[in-house]
Amino acid sequence: MKTLIRNIGKLVGIVPEGTLRKEGVEMGKVETLDNAWLMTDGDKILSFGTGSHPGDGCITEDLLTIDAEGGYVMPSFCDSHSHIVYAGSRYGEFRDKIDGLTYEQIAARGGGILNSADLLHETSEEELFRQSLGRAVEVMYKGTGAMEIKSGYGLNTEDELKMLRVIRRLRASLPIEIRATFLGAHAVGRAYAGRQGEYVDMVCREMLPAVADQGLADFVDVFCDRGFFTPEETMQILDAAQVFGLRGKIHANELAVSGGVQAGVSRGALSVDHLEQTTDAEMKVLEGTDTMPVMLPGASFFSCLPYGRAKDFIRGGLGVALASDYNPGSSPSGDMRFIMALGCIQMKLTPEESFNACTLNGAYAMGISRLAGSVTPGKLANLIITEPLPDLAFIAYSHHTPFIKHLIVRGKQL
């Protein structure tokens, strides 16, 4: 089934086949085409060009046509870091936070991630799926066409598997592209309190083989930070995961310069994420590697943490991806347009840099940039058709004005 999107004011985010990420000055460039059409075939982008349509031969009777009415057509957002499978919420901690407690103080009192783990334990798999589906649908309608989802609120084998099964079910239930990350080392489960080393051994010997055996994860993650897991423990888990072919996506440098970037890079991690606290040494370590630095401005915003040094990274020739970190504790929002806006407003990225960080580089950071993240023939037709816009900057500038006119996911209009 072919669909023609015609009357496109500007086709945005055109990337040649084979360009899997943008780095340095390339991040400031977004290729566009004015007065364009785009043809999809099944779930993929087939072709595009300028003018009103591809030529008379292509207009068949069964061709579906969508009039973009002069709006932009852009790739949908690729959110490479989220924790949307969780039970309930943590609005009580929000009150504590307003009263002055930090994320670390809340965690040290036994709240935070452990609080979510208790709630998840008491919640049935069906109910967990229902709540998580609501969040996934919410972000899909906000323009996210691909997302990564982590486990990490189970903290025992049964509950981690329960979370990963829910992610698998989301994957089967929704048209957006979903990747699953096993984050057993998000915190030490209550049953192992005071026995962190034993917990890490259990993650490696019991959880990982079970997860891999059931094919439930694409990646492995560790919360490598002050008060959580050490670089040595992170490398131990990454080494154990490598046996099962699972590559790392590491939480690093949120609360302190943790050594997590070095640990991740030493084991060929696909991404190192957070980076609110980063020195020049981490930038040096990332140079010339396949590891994508991912920054999470929604967590900086909500948790009142510094924003990552995205501009310095880009000046240093590195690429950067931005993601939502949608989770109940440090970033209860998955709105990637808001993330793009924070990239501009708080991190001083140009709209073009922020756009690339939220699309192609996000796709790279979840291993799907051959499939998503740009307007490229052969990639998934996951597209946003916008209201007419004066400039790409308007998406971030007027970040609460509705801008989505139509959403296309796998070639079909939502």
Burial 250-276 (b: 16+ CB within 10 A, else e): bbbbbbebbbbbbbbbbbebbbbbbbb
Residue 325 within binding range of ligand NIG, rule CB under 6 A? yes
**Binding-site partner at residue 337 among Fe ion, ligand NIG, none, CB < 5 to 8 Å by type:** none
Nearer to Fe ion, 159 or 325 (CB): 325
Count helices and strands in the chain by DSSP H and E runs? 16, 16
The interface region with ligand NIG, picked from 134-142, 229-237, 324-332, 386-394 by CB under 6 A, is 324-332
Nearer to Fe ion, 249 or 379 (CB): 249
Residue 330 within binding range of ligand NIG, rule CB under 6 A? yes
Nearer to Fe ion, 6 or 81 (CB): 81
Nearer to ligand NIG, 83 or 337 (CB): 83
- Residue selected from 251, 267, 309, 337 as contacting ligand NIG according to rule CB under 6 A: 251
The interface region with ligand NIG, picked from 128-136, 232-240, 322-330, 388-396 by CB under 6 A, is 322-330
Give 12's Cβ-side CA count (13 Å radius). 26
Q: How far apart, in whole angstroms, are the C-alpha atoms of residue 34 and residue 1?
A: 26
Angle at the Cα of 81 (from 78 to 83), degrees rounded to 5? 120
Closest distance of CB 82 from ligand NIG, Å: 9
Is residue 96 classed as helix, strand or coil in its secondary structure?
A: helix
Beta strands in 151-224 (DSSP E): 177-185, 219-224
Residue 218 within binding range of Fe ion, rule CB under 5 A? no
How many residues contact ligand NIG, by CB under 6 A?
Answer: 13
Task: Find the residue with minimal CB distance to Fe ion.
Answer: 325
Nearer to ligand NIG, 161 or 299 (CB): 299
Counted residue by residue, the chain has a size of 414
φ and ψ at residue 19, rounded to 5 degrees = -85, 110
Residue 351 within binding range of ligand NIG, rule CB under 6 A? no
Closest distance of CB 81 from ligand NIG, Å: 7
Give 144's Cβ-side CA count (13 Å radius). 31
Cα maximum dimension of the chain: 72
- Residue selected from 72, 223, 338, 403 as contacting ligand NIG according to rule CB under 6 A: 223
Q: Which of the residues 87 through 126 are near ligand NIG (CB under 6 A)?
A: 112-113, 116
Residue 325 within binding range of Fe ion, rule CB under 5 A? yes
Asked if residue 319 lies in contact with residue 271, where contact means CB atoms within 8 angstroms, the answer is no
Nearer to ligand NIG, 140 or 294 (CB): 294
Q: Which residue has the tokens 């915190």?
A: 187
Nearer to ligand NIG, 160 or 254 (CB): 254
Distances in Å between the alpha carbon of 260 and those of 150, 307, 332, 376? 18, 18, 24, 34
Q: With CA atoms as reference, report the closest residue to 137 among 179, 174, 101, 97.
A: 174
Tokens of 225: 């930070």
Closest distance of CB 183 from ligand NIG, Å: 8
Distances in Å between the alpha carbon of 305 and those of 80, 117, 173, 229? 20, 24, 35, 20
- The secondary element (H helix, E strand) that includes residue 39 is strand 31-41
Task: Find the residue with minimal CB distance to ligand NIG.
Answer: 329
Residue 185 within binding range of ligand NIG, rule CB under 6 A? no
Beta strands in 86-161 (DSSP E): 144-150
Q: Binding string to ligand NIG for residues 191 to 220, with x set by CB under 6 A, is what? A: ------------------------------
Residue 299 within binding range of ligand NIG, rule CB under 6 A? yes
Nearer to ligand NIG, 72 or 338 (CB): 338
Tokens of 182: 């096993």
Q: Which positions touch Fe ion (CB under 5 A)? A: 325
In the complex, the residues that contact ligand NIG under the rule CB under 6 A are 83, 112-113, 116, 223, 251, 254, 299, 325, 327-330
